[in-house]
Structure 1
Amino acid sequence: MSGRVAVFAPSPELTVTVEELDGTPDIHIHAGGQGVWMSRMIESLGAEVVLCAALGGETGQVLRHLIGVELKARDVAARNGGYVHDRRDGGRDQVVRMPADPLSRHELDDLYEMTLVEALDAGVAVLSGPAAEDTPVPDSVYERLATDLGGNGCRVVVDLSGARLAAALAGGPEVVKVSHEELLADGFAASDALPDLVDGCRKLAESGAAGAIVVSRAAEETLAWLDGKLYLVEVPELSPVDTRGGGDSMTAGLAAGLALGKSLEDSLKLGAAAGAVNVTRHGLGTGSGDVVRELVERVRLRPWEDS
């Protein structure tokens, strides 16, 4: 294996967060979005990563300097989105949000071609989405990428929901990561009860997911379908600081494990450990690779039949 992962993140976001430090406002400016957070975690776990994205407008100009991992970017006229959050009272109050602009046909073609080249060279690809309400690229892009990459030997991991997930499933990805809320919202499960989520995994498998389906369940044990066998994933209990981003870190660990030549089972353990570490931190897609690797030894896969 090349030890390299290509992450498709069509439109990263510029994030501005206002916190309080010693009684005065403290402003933080970062690159954000699912693909950016995943890429940071993949790199921290020892795999090489390349982020494939479109950058445009003033937000795109700033993002180019903030992403922090290897970047392959298509310069576009379409603006990247962004938001301003006020966290001085401990919550996340959204002050303003600017949605991403849709890419033109030629911009989309160039981004697709660039992603195809990078992902085939890497051997492992993660297909991530922009914010749910943004539509910089049509959903059909995810089906095309999953089909073209998987059909040419690239191992495809998707972390999507809604119409994007449905499109990607039609392309037959190897690994699908969803949250239990997404499984419910997309109609695969009747409730968040474990037997219903198990049925949801089976329905997902029938919809095109090939090797593995991983369902994160917030503070509960992750449910995993690996090559037709069901497991509950037990991780060490850690005190949470911010639960946002735990699922993205899990996906990053899965992809990093595959890139480093690990089995699906060991990649899942790495992902579970990465997700567990992320919720102990304020940043999304953060965590020391050394801590994650230490926790991996404490992750257990319990067969569903033993539950």
Structure 2
Amino acid sequence: MILTVTLNPAIDVRYDLDGFKLARSNRVETAHKTAGGKGLNVTRVITQLQEPVLATGLLGGKTGEWIESELDASNICHDFYHIKSDTRSCLAFLHDGLQTEVLEAGPVVSEEEWHGFLEHFVTLLGDASLVVASGSLPKGVPTSAYRQLNELVKRSGKRLILDTSGEALREGVASKPFLVKPNEDELAALEPHTPVDEALRTLADQIPWVLHSKGKDGAEAHIMRTRYALAVPEVEAINPVGSGDAMVAGLAVGLQRGLSIEETLKLGSATGTLNALEPGTGMISMAALPEMLQKIDVMVR
């Protein structure tokens, strides 16, 4: 089973607008609401790939209850640790070919609640063989959160995939997770004033799998001292939000199933690309997957 961790989930609300007018009323026909957060996007795609998965993390209040009800409706297994403060909501306005976001910071988590979650996490590790930890940290959760989780994962003999940014990524990397997936901005924050290639090599000296995602330009991977280039087909993206999370899901499933490096990279690239073709976030077309896999090129450099 794959265990996904979302420490700062949200109700993601998307508004599709013909145009966005400042200081004016903007009316929409429909608001699209999703149980969001990077880890839950990953979970949805893993579920579509029909791999056993359990979602955990921190939820609180009525918004947390709504997220759990949405997961139930989608037949997604979950076991969250409940906190007192309300889970956040995040708004995205799609207009004029652009996306404007309003993101709440999230709840304040007490030290007692954080330690309670760590104990809860340990109880879930027994049935998991791979852990995916994604996204930002709510207030009160220490920047060492992912380092702490990875230490518990490694102690249990399991592997952790980490997808985050900022100080949480820096601390997480220090604990040497199995896989990280930084984009260019995240690499620059980790290794200021360092060329991308050099920053990737530095990471690859510490971490078995390093994926540098480049969006529509594919990705580069450094795995076990070997460099791979991933080329993806040109597509007309409908909603690229969550494509990185869909890629992580594909990588996680490939690793869980024991696929070869090339097959795992292809699956991750295919799911990431397919997400961009769907209006929903963290969604892929399973019918289109076989053809997309054929269009992905993985080259050793």
Q: Could you state the TM-score of these two structures normalised by the residue count of structure 1?
A: 0.87
Q: Which amino acid letter does the alignment assign opposite residue 204 of structure 2? A: A
SS at match of 1:297: helix
Deviation at 1:274, TM superposition (A): 0.5
Judging changes above 3 Å, is the alpha-carbon distance between structure 1 residues 50 and 14 closer, same or farther for their aligned structure 2 residues?
Answer: same
Q: Is the 8 A contact 1:270 1:293 kept in 2?
A: no
Aligned equivalents of 1:115 and 1:35: distance in 2?
15
Q: Are residues 1:25 and 2:22 paired?
A: no
User: Which region of structure 1 is more displaced relative to structure 2, 4-13 or 118-127?
Assistant: 118-127
* TM superposition shift of 1:157: 0.7
2:91 aligned partner: 84
**Which range moves more in the overlay, 181-190 or 56-65?**
181-190
Match of 1:153 among 151, 157, 161: 157
- Is the 8 Å Cα contact of residues 120 and 149 (structure 1) preserved in structure 2? no
Alpha carbons 2:111, 2:141 under 8 Å: kept:
no
Say if 2:35 and 2:70, in contact at 8 Å, map to a contact too. yes
- 1:27-176 correspondence runs (5 A): 27-67=31-71, 68=74, 69-87=76-94, 91-94=98-101, 97-130=103-136, 134-135=138-139, 137-176=141-180
Aligned partners of 1:254 and 1:271 also within 8 Å:
yes
The SS at the match of 1:87 is: strand
- What is the alpha-carbon distance in structure 2 between the residues aligned to residue 293 and residue 111 of structure 1? 39
Q: Is the 8 A contact 1:123 1:155 kept in 2?
A: yes
Name the structure 2 match of 1:204: 203
The aligned residue for residue 256 of structure 1 is 253
Distance between the aligned counterparts of 1:178 and 1:261, measured in 2?
A: 23
| Alpha-carbon distance between aligned partners in 2 of 1:255 and 1:271, rounded to the nearest angstrom | 8
Separation in 2, partners of 1:41, 1:168: 24
Q: 1:1-16, aligned counterparts within 5 Å?
A: 4-16=1-13
Letter in 1 for 2:190: D
Which residue type is aligned with residue 163 of structure 2? D
Closer/same/farther in 2, CA of residues 230 and 122 from structure 1, 3 Å limit? same
How far did residue 172 of structure 1 move? 1.5
Unpaired segments of 5 or more residues in structure 1?
191-195
Of Structure 1 and Structure 2, the greater strand share is in 1
CA separation of 1:294 and 1:186: change in aligned 2, threshold 3 A: same
CA–CA separation in structure 2 for the residues paired with 1:74 and 1:10: 10
Give the AA of the match of 1:260. R
Q: Deviation at 1:285?
A: 1.0
| CA contact 2:210–2:221 (8 Å) conserved in 1 | yes
The Cα shift of 1:129 comes to 1.9
Alpha carbons of 1:17 and 1:201: their partners in 2 closer, same or farther (altered >3 Å)? same
Partners of 1:117 and 1:45 lie apart in 2 by 25
Gapped regions of structure 2 (runs ≥ 5): 19-26
Quote the Cα distance in structure 1 between the aligned partners of 2:204 and 2:106. 32
Q: Mean Cα displacement is larger for which, 213-222 or 292-301?
A: 292-301
Provide the alpha-carbon RMSD of the alignment: 2.2
One-letter amino acid matched to 1:71: H
Partner of 2:21: none
How much does 1:181 deviate? 2.4
Aligned residues: 290
Partner SS state of residue 14, structure 1: strand
Residue by residue over 1:3-33, the C-alpha shift from the partner in whole angstroms, topping out at 9 and shown as x without a partner, is x210011121012223369x95212222111
CA deviation after TM superposition for structure 1 residue 265, in Å:
3.0
| Change in CA separation of 1:155 and 1:293 when aligned onto 2, cut-off 3 Å | farther
